[in-house]
Chains A and B, each alone.
Chain A
Amino acid sequence: MIYPLLAQLVQMTVILTLSPLLIGLVRKVKSRLQRRRGSSLIQPYRDLRRLLGKEAVVAENASWLFRIAPYFVFASTWVAAALIPTFSANLMFSWSGDLIAITALLGSARFALALAGMDVGTSFGGLGSSREMMIASLAEPAMLMIVFSVALIAGSTELSTIAGYMLNGQVGLRVSLAMALAALLIVAVAENGRIPVDNPATHLELTMVHEAMVLEYSGRHLAMIELAASLQLMLYLSMVACIFLPIGMAGNANEPLRDAVGFFAWLAKMAAGGMALGVAETIVAKMRVFRVPNFLGAALMLGLLGVLLLFVSRGM
C-alpha cells in the first residue's frame, strides 16, 4: 500500500520537476547545432522563477475564465502526466484513468486554453484558438486511433497494463505497431506545438499558433502555462518511451533496485528523446498552416490503417 503510493507520488513529482530541464535540453541542442552557445540547461527554471516574481498584467476586459484557465490547464495536464508510467509500471492510481482518459484530459486542458485565448477579444487570441482547435480536431482522433492499436494488441487501454505487456517482450515486430509509432510521433509534434507544425520560439504574427493563444498572459499565469507546456512535452516523450521502448522500466513489483535502474533508463530515454527532437527541429522547416492538415491526416490514416489491420488479423 505504502510503496505503490510512494512510487506514484515520486513519479508525478519527478515528471513535473524535470520537465523544464527537457525544454532546456532541446533548446541547448538546437543552439549547439546552429553553432551558438545557447542558454544554460537550467534557463527554463530561471524563466519560471522570473515569471513568478513579476506581477501579473491582466487585460482590462479579461473575465474570471482568463484567470482560472492557467491553473485548470496545468492541473489537467499534471493529472494526465501522473497517469503515465515513467520509470516503473507500478502506478497506484493507474486504474482511475486509461489512455483514452489521458487523451481526453489533455483535450480538457486545450479546451480551457483555447477559450482563454478568446477571452480578451483580440484578433491574435482568436487566431491562435481557431488554429489550435483545427489542429486538435485532427490530432485527437489520430491519437485515439493510436490508443486503439496499442489497446487491441495489449488487450487493455490501461497504460500500466500496456507497459507491463510490452515489457514482457512477447509482442515482437508488428506492422500495426510501427504505424502507431509513426502516427504517435506526428501527433506528439503537433500537440506540443513543435516544428514543423508550430514554432515555440517565434512571435511572428502569421506563424504562431500556441503562442498567439497565450499572448495576453504574463507573470504567474504565464508561468503556469509554460510549465504545463513543458509537462506535456515530457508526458508525450514518456508515453512513447513507455509504450514503444519499455527497456529497463521496472515492472509491477515493489523492488527499489529495479526502480532505480528504471529511473536511470528513463532519464537516458528522455535525454535521447530531447536530443532527437532538437536535431529534428533543426533539419525540418516550419510548414504553412494549411499544410498541417495533410501532415496530421497522414497520422490519422496511419492510425486507422493500424486498427483496421488489427481487426482483420490478430497477428499484424
Chain B
Amino acid sequence: MMPIAWVIPCLLLLSAAGIVTARSAFGRVLVYGGCLLICTALGIGGFTALTAANQHLQLPVGLPWIGSNLRLDALAGFFLILIGLGGGGASLFALGYARHEEHPQRVLPFYPAFLAGMILVVLADDAFTFLFAWELMSLSSWALVMAHHREEANARAGYVYLIMATFSGLTLLLAFGLLAGDLGNYGFDSIRNNPPTADVAGVVMLVALVGAGSKAGLVPLHVWLPLAHPAAPSHVSALMSGVMTKVAVYGFIRIVFDLVGPTQWWAGTVVLAVGGITAVIGVLQALMERDLKRLLAYSTVENIGIVFIGLGLSLAFRANNLGAGAALALTAALFHALNHTTFKSLLFFGAGAVLHATGQRNMETLGGLIHRMKVTPFVFLIGCIAISGLPPLNGFASEWLTFQAVLLRPEFPQWGLKLIIPVDGALLALAAALASCCFVRAYGICFLGRPRSDAAAQARETDPWSLAAMILFATLCLLTGIIPGAVIDTLAPVARDLTGARMPVQLGDAWQTIVPIAASRSSYNGLLVFAFIVISILITVVTIHRLSAHGVRRAPPWDCGFPDPTPLSQYSAASFEQPIRRVFGTVLFRSKEIVDMPAPGDNRPAGIVRTIRDPVWDGIYRPLAATIGWIAGKSDLLAYLTIRSYLSFVFAALVVLLIALTIWQ
C-alpha cells in the first residue's frame, strides 16, 4: 500500500477543477492552494520514505498483462521531496503572481497535471507507466510553454520543445526495449532480476544519457531549454528549470544506477566528458544572454552539467568497486540537484517579480531596481551568491563535495579516467568562476545602477505571496549552506541503495562540520564560516564607528570628474560581458564586433554590431534541419506523378522484395 499515491488522483481532480473554474479568482486559489497543500504532503511523505521500507502498489490500469506498478524507495523519496519543495514553492508564489495572468484558463488545468506527471515518473515501477508519465510531463509542460502562444518566439519554442521531447521519449523507449530483452519484461523488478549483458548495458547507458539528457539539458541536446523554459509563466519556468530537469536526472539515475546494474568504466568517462562540456558551455551562453529569464535557463544547463559531473564520477568509482567514493560523488550530485532546485526557483521567482514590476525581461532596459523594490533585490542577491558557489551558502557546499570527490584520486587502472577526472575538475572550477561573473552581471545590470528605461524607473515591489515564496527559498539556501551535514545524512539511504556504501555520519560532529572521508583529509564547516563572517562584520562595524568620523554626506557621483548625465552611459549587459566575449567567445561562438564608422561628412550615426553564433545550432541542428528539408523537397516530386508511374513503382517494389526474400532464404 502506498498512501502517497493518492496525490496523483487529487492533482488530476484539481486539473479538472482548473478547467471549470479557470476564469474566477476562486479557481486560482483552489488550484494553487490545493497544489501547495498536496506538495507539502508529498514532501513529508518523501521524507518518511527515505528511511522506511520500500512500498509497492499495483494498479489495475495500464498494459493488460502487467498492470501499472508503483514503487516508493529511498531514491524516489528524495526526488519526491524535491518535487514537493519546488512544486510547493512555485504554488505559493503563484498564489500571488498568477493574479496578473491574462489567460488563466491556459495555465490552471495543466499546472496540476504537470505536477502529477512528474510525481508519477518518480513513482513508476514499470517501463509503460514510466513512459506514460514521462509523456504526460512533457505534454502538460508543453501546454504551459504555449500559454502565451500569440508571441512568435513562444510558438517557435513550443515547436522545438515538442520535437526534442518526442526524441527523448523515443530514445527512452529504445532503452527500455533493450532492457526488457527477449522476454519482454517491462516491470522494473524483473529487469533488476535479469540484468543485461555488459554490451547491452553500455548501449542502454548511452541511450539513457541521450534520452534523459535531452530532457535535463545536456549539451548538445539543450537547445530547446533556453527557448522553452523562459516562455512559460515565471512560476512554471521555476518548476521546469528547478524540478523537471531533476526528474530527468532521476530518470538517468533510475535506469543507469538501478536497472542496468554495474556499468563499465568508460560509462563514467562519457558522462564526465558530457557533464564538463555542458557546465562550461551553459555558463558561457548565460554570460552572453541579455534576456534575464533565458540567462537563468542557460544557467540551468550549467548546473545540470555539474550534477552530471558528480554522476559520472560516481559511475567511475563504482566501476572500480570504490563504494565510498561512489557514495561521495553521488551524494554531491544529488545535493547539488537539491540546491539547484532552491536557488533556481528563487531566481526565477525574482525574475517573475521583475517582469511583473517592469514588464521587461531584457536586462538592457532594467537597472536601479534595488531602490524601487524592497525585499526582492535582497533575496535575489542571496540566490545569486548561492548559485555562484560562494560560501557560506548552499551552492558552495555541494560544489565543495564534488571537488572532494575529484580529489580522491584512487589508483585507477584506466588511462581514460586518469585523464578525464582532472580535466573535469578544471572545467568545474572554470564553470564556477564564470558563474559568479555571470551573476555579478545579471544582478548588477538588473538591480544596481540607474534605471535604463521608464518602466524600470517606475517599478514597484511585488505581492506578499510571491515574497513569502522567495523568502522561504532564500532561507533554505542559507540553512542547507550552513548545515550541509543534515542533507548529506538525509541522502545516505539513497547512496546506500545505489552504490552499496554511504558517506560517514555527519550530524553529531562538533559544530556541524562535514567530513567527506576523514577529518585529516578535508572538512568544511559552513556554520562556523558564517558565524565568523557575521562576527567579524559586527566587530568591524562597531570598531570603525567608534574610531571614525560619523558623518555620511550624499553627493553627486565622483566618476573621475566626468559629468555623466544619462543612464545610457552606464555599463550595459553587453559591455559587461565584452571582455569575457573576447577571451572565450572568439573561437567558441565566433563572436565579432563590427564598428560602423561613417565617413567624414556623413551624418548617419556610428554604430557597433556584435554577432554571436551558437556552435550547437550551427554545427548540428541547422544542417540537420536543412538535410531533412532537402530530402522532403526532393521527395515532394513523388506526389505529382501519373498513375502509370505509381503502378510501375509498386511493381518494382514487389520485384525487389521478392528478390530480397529469395536471397535471404
Q: Do A and B bind each other?
A: yes
Q: Which of B421, B436, B540 contacts A224 (CB 8 A)?
A: B540
Contact at B570–A123, with CB atoms within 8 Å? yes
Chain A contacts of B444 at CB under 8 A? 114-115, 117-119, 126, 129
Q: Which of A121, A133, A134, A148 contacts B449 (CB 8 A)?
A: A121
Q: Which of B433, B450, B540, B554 contacts A138 (CB 8 A)?
A: B433
- A105 an interface residue at 8 Å Cβ cutoff? yes
Q: Which of B436, B520, B547 contacts A161 (CB 8 A)?
A: B520
| Alpha-carbon distance between A155 and B550 when the two chains are bound, in angstroms | 50
| Alpha-carbon distance between A90 and B258 when the two chains are bound, in angstroms | 46
Contact at A141–B429, with CB atoms within 8 Å? yes
Question: Which of A18-26, A29-37, A242-250, A302-310 has 4 or more CB atoms under 8 Å from chain B?
Answer: A302-310
- B368 an interface residue at 8 Å Cβ cutoff? yes
Question: Which of B16-24, B35-43, B402-410, B488-496 has 4 or more CB atoms under 8 Å from chain A?
Answer: B402-410
- In this complex, the member of B419, B449, B450, B556 whose beta carbon has the largest number of chain A beta carbons within 10 angstroms is B449
- A207 an interface residue at 8 Å Cβ cutoff? no
Contact at A122–B559, with CB atoms within 8 Å? yes
Min C-beta distance of B430 to chain A, whole Å? 4
Q: How many A-B residue contacts, CB cutoff 8 Å?
A: 286
Chain B contacts of A53 at CB under 8 A? 548-549
Chain B contacts of A71 at CB under 8 A? 537, 540-541, 544
| Alpha-carbon distance between A117 and B557 when the two chains are bound, in angstroms | 12
Min C-beta distance of A165 to chain B, whole Å? 10
Q: Which of A54, A60, A100 contacts B400 (CB 8 A)?
A: A100
Number of A residues near B (Cβ < 8 Å) is 88
- A170 an interface residue at 8 Å Cβ cutoff? no
- B226 an interface residue at 8 Å Cβ cutoff? no
Min C-beta distance of B428 to chain A, whole Å? 8
Q: Which of A64, A101, A115 contacts B529 (CB 8 A)?
A: A101
Question: Which of B81-89, B297-305, B386-394 has 4 or more CB atoms under 8 Å from chain A?
Answer: B386-394
| Alpha-carbon distance between A110 and B437 when the two chains are bound, in angstroms | 10
Chain A contacts of B385 at CB under 8 A? 108, 111
Which residues of A137-182 have CB atoms within 8 Å of chain B's CB atoms? Answer: 137-141, 144-145, 148, 151-152, 155-158, 161
Contact at A111–B578, with CB atoms within 8 Å? no
Nearest A residue to B392 via CB reads A108
- B8 an interface residue at 8 Å Cβ cutoff? no
Contact at A156–B400, with CB atoms within 8 Å? no
Chain B contacts of A123 at CB under 8 A? 559, 562, 564, 569-571
Chain A contacts of B534 at CB under 8 A? 75
Q: Which of B400, B403, B555 contacts A57 (CB 8 A)?
A: B555
Question: Which of A192-200, A214-222, A260-268, A276-284 has 4 or more CB atoms under 8 Å from chain B?
Answer: A214-222
Question: Which of A39-47, A76-84, A233-241 has 4 or more CB atoms under 8 Å from chain B?
Answer: A76-84
Nearest A residue to B389 via CB reads A104
Min C-beta distance of B483 to chain A, whole Å? 13
Q: Given A107-B436, A115-B443, A157-B407, are A97 and B418 neighbors across the interface (CB < 8 Å)?
A: no
Contact at A144–B403, with CB atoms within 8 Å? yes
| Alpha-carbon distance between A119 and B522 when the two chains are bound, in angstroms | 37
- B582 an interface residue at 8 Å Cβ cutoff? yes
Contact at B571–A148, with CB atoms within 8 Å? no
- B611 an interface residue at 8 Å Cβ cutoff? no
Q: Given A129-B440, A134-B583, A144-B429, are A75 and B557 neighbors across the interface (CB < 8 Å)?
A: no
| Alpha-carbon distance between A64 and B551 when the two chains are bound, in angstroms | 16
Chain A contacts of B559 at CB under 8 A? 120, 122-125, 215-216
Contact at B426–A82, with CB atoms within 8 Å? no
Contact at B528–A58, with CB atoms within 8 Å? no
Chain B contacts of A96 at CB under 8 A? 511, 513, 523-525, 528-529, 532
Nearest B residue to A290 via CB reads B582
- A205 an interface residue at 8 Å Cβ cutoff? yes
Contact at B524–A98, with CB atoms within 8 Å? yes
Min C-beta distance of B279 to chain A, whole Å? 12
Q: Which of A152, A216, A290 contacts B407 (CB 8 A)?
A: A152
Q: Given A75-B536, A108-B385, A111-B388, are A130 and B579 neighbors across the interface (CB < 8 Å)?
A: yes
- A59 an interface residue at 8 Å Cβ cutoff? yes
Q: Which of A57, A111, A124 contacts B390 (CB 8 A)?
A: A111
Number of B residues near A (Cβ < 8 Å) is 87
Contact at B536–A78, with CB atoms within 8 Å? yes
- B359 an interface residue at 8 Å Cβ cutoff? no
Contact at A136–B571, with CB atoms within 8 Å? no
Contact at A63–B548, with CB atoms within 8 Å? no
Contact at A119–B532, with CB atoms within 8 Å? no
Contact at A133–B540, with CB atoms within 8 Å? no
Which residues of B331-358 have CB atoms within 8 Å of chain A's CB atoms? Answer: none
Chain B contacts of A141 at CB under 8 A? 426, 429-430, 432-433
Min C-beta distance of B491 to chain A, whole Å? 21
Q: Given A93-B528, A127-B571, A141-B433, are A122 and B448 neighbors across the interface (CB < 8 Å)?
A: no
Contact at B548–A223, with CB atoms within 8 Å? yes
Chain A contacts of B381 at CB under 8 A? 65, 115
Chain B contacts of A258 at CB under 8 A? none
Min C-beta distance of A33 to chain B, whole Å? 29
Q: How would residues 46 to 73 of chain A score, 1 for a CB under 8 Å from any chain B CB and 0 otherwise?
A: 0000001111111111011101000110
Q: Given A55-B553, A60-B554, A156-B521, are A126 and B371 neighbors across the interface (CB < 8 Å)?
A: no
Chain A contacts of B445 at CB under 8 A? 118
Min C-beta distance of B367 to chain A, whole Å? 7
Q: Given A96-B513, A97-B524, are A148 and B580 neighbors across the interface (CB < 8 Å)?
A: no
Q: Which of A58, A79, A161 contacts B533 (CB 8 A)?
A: A79
Chain A contacts of B556 at CB under 8 A? 59-60
Chain A contacts of B558 at CB under 8 A? 57, 59, 122, 215-216
Q: Given A82-B532, A95-B525, A125-B571, are A101 and B403 neighbors across the interface (CB < 8 Å)?
A: no
Contact at B570–A137, with CB atoms within 8 Å? no
Q: Given A108-B390, A119-B448, are A311 and B570 neighbors across the interface (CB < 8 Å)?
A: no
Contact at A157–B551, with CB atoms within 8 Å? no
- B60 an interface residue at 8 Å Cβ cutoff? no
Q: Which of A58, A115, A138, A223 contacts B583 (CB 8 A)?
A: A138
Q: Given A59-B558, A219-B549, are A130 and B519 neighbors across the interface (CB < 8 Å)?
A: no
Chain B contacts of A145 at CB under 8 A? 425-426, 429
Contact at B433–A140, with CB atoms within 8 Å? yes
- B576 an interface residue at 8 Å Cβ cutoff? yes
Contact at A52–B436, with CB atoms within 8 Å? no
Q: Which of A59, A98, A134 contacts B554 (CB 8 A)?
A: A59
- B114 an interface residue at 8 Å Cβ cutoff? no
Contact at B560–A155, with CB atoms within 8 Å? no
Q: Given A57-B553, A108-B391, A223-B548, are A74 and B540 neighbors across the interface (CB < 8 Å)?
A: yes
- In this complex, the member of B385, B390, B541, B547 whose beta carbon has the largest number of chain A beta carbons within 10 angstroms is B390
Contact at A95–B570, with CB atoms within 8 Å? no
| Alpha-carbon distance between A291 and B368 when the two chains are bound, in angstroms | 33
Contact at A120–B544, with CB atoms within 8 Å? no
Nearest B residue to A99 via CB reads B522
| Chain B contacts to A: CB under 8 angstroms | 367-368, 370-371, 381, 385, 388-391, 396, 400, 403-404, 406-407, 409, 418-419, 421-423, 425-426, 429-430, 432-434, 436-437, 439-441, 443-445, 448-450, 511, 513, 519-525, 528-529, 532-534, 536-537, 540-541, 544, 547-560, 562, 564, 567, 569-571, 575-580, 582-583
Closest 4 pairs (CB-CB, A-B):
A126-B571, A121-B449, A55-B551, A118-B444
* A-B residue pairs in contact (CB < 8 Å), sample of 18: A52-B548, A55-B552, A59-B556, A60-B554, A61-B371, A71-B541, A79-B532, A96-B525, A104-B389, A104-B391, A118-B571, A125-B571, A144-B425, A161-B520, A205-B560, A216-B558, A224-B544, A290-B583
* Additional A-B contacts beyond A75-B533, A123-B559, A123-B562 (7; CB < 8 A): A55-B549, A100-B403, A119-B370, A123-B569, A133-B436, A137-B436, A140-B429
| Chain A contacts to B: CB under 8 angstroms | 52-61, 63-65, 67, 71-72, 74-76, 78-79, 82, 93, 95-98, 100-101, 104-105, 107-108, 110-111, 114-115, 117-127, 129-131, 133-134, 136-141, 144-145, 148, 151-152, 155-158, 161, 203, 205, 215-216, 219-220, 223-224, 289-290, 293, 300, 303-304, 307-308, 310-312
